Amino acid sequence: MKSKEKSCIIWANGKRPKKKTVNKLLEIGYEKIICADGGANSAYCLNITPDYIIGDFDSVKKEVLEKFRASSEIIHLARQNDTDLEKALKFVIKKKFTRAVLIATTGDRLDHSLCNVGILLKFYGKIDLKLVHEKTVAYVRSGVYSFPSIKGETISIYAFDGKTKITSHGLKYPLKNTALPFGQKESTSNEATKDTVTLEIKTGKVMIVRELKVLFEHGYFLDA
């Protein structure tokens, strides 16, 4: 990672991630942890200290705030036009972070989960953003996009309207100027057949979902 790049983990208030996942992200260069409100609760349960806690504090436990008050910067933002996750993202963008990975974004409420996944689209182009959930990582790309992979890696691709057309190179089920409008057609559980996969994305952007284990074990996470 280039020295000028600033990278962070943004920890939402969803299902608690595995501690080994958080530690691996810290190890590969996501050096700061920003908890969005109740995300601090699960950080506390995993005995991980965040650098910042941001939100309106309607979810974080009072005892957790008190526990972290001496070690973390606590920023209360009461505005309701943004979710706590969006507040955290706008904060790190203002602080000139260039990379962020979202964790704990999905949970027992489908509306919250959909909203958080949609943030990948909403903030595309403003910061290099990925979302990690359990065994997978998702991110958005456009234009001609090539990335390292391994043969057999499961790769899924989703677009959002009929205008976006995708041509692929290095996938088992090739796309040839194909539209993948959400809810009508998708490329779920496609498979890499080469060490490099290339997508030619015209007139729009796509969401790519990949295997977290592959990206971690082969050192591809930052290059994805």
Q: What is the pLDDT along the chain (224 residues), one digit of tens a residue?
A: 444 579 999 999 999 999 999 999 999 999 999 999 999 999 999 999 999 999 999 999 999 999 999 999 999 998 778 899 999 999 999 999 999 999 999 877 888 788 888 999 999 999 999 999 999 999 999 999 999 999 999 999 999 899 999 999 999 999 999 999 988 998 999 999 999 999 999 999 999 999 999 999 999 999 99
Question: Model's pTM, two decimal places?
Answer: 0.93
Residues 116, 161 share a domain: no
Residues 199, 126 share a domain: no
Residues 109, 82 share a domain: yes
Give the pLDDT confidence score for residue 4 in this predicted structure. 59
Residues 81, 26 share a domain: yes
Question: Is 110 domain-assigned?
Answer: yes
Residues 48, 149 share a domain: no
Residues 183, 105 share a domain: no
Residues 215, 115 share a domain: no
Residues 75, 174 share a domain: no
Residues 126, 28 share a domain: yes
Per-residue model confidence as pLDDT tens digits over 3-53: 457 999 999 999 999 999 999 999 999 999 999 999 999 999 999 999 999
Residues 113, 202 share a domain: no
Phi-psi region of 155 (alpha: psi -120 to 50; beta: other; left: phi over 0): beta
From residue 223, how far is each of 91, 145, 218 by CA, in Å? 24, 11, 11
Which one of 134, 152, 181 terminates a domain? 134
Give the pLDDT confidence score for residue 213 in this predicted structure. 97
Which one of 134, 161, 183 terminates a domain? 134
Residues 117, 22 share a domain: yes
Question: Is 48 domain-assigned?
Answer: yes
* Residue 64 and residue 38 in contact, taking contact as beta carbons nearer than 8 Å: no
Question: Is 89 domain-assigned?
Answer: yes
Report the CATH number at residue 154. Answer: 3.40.50.10240
Which one of 106, 134, 162 terminates a domain? 134
Record the tokens describing residue 166, joined without a space.
């995708």
Q: Which domain holds residue 176?
A: 139-223
Count the domains in the chain: 2
Question: Is 156 domain-assigned?
Answer: yes
Question: Is 2 domain-assigned?
Answer: no
Residue 96 has phi, psi (to 5 degrees) of 70, 25
Residues 119, 190 share a domain: no
Cα–Cα distance for residue pair 42/104, rounded to 1 Å: 9
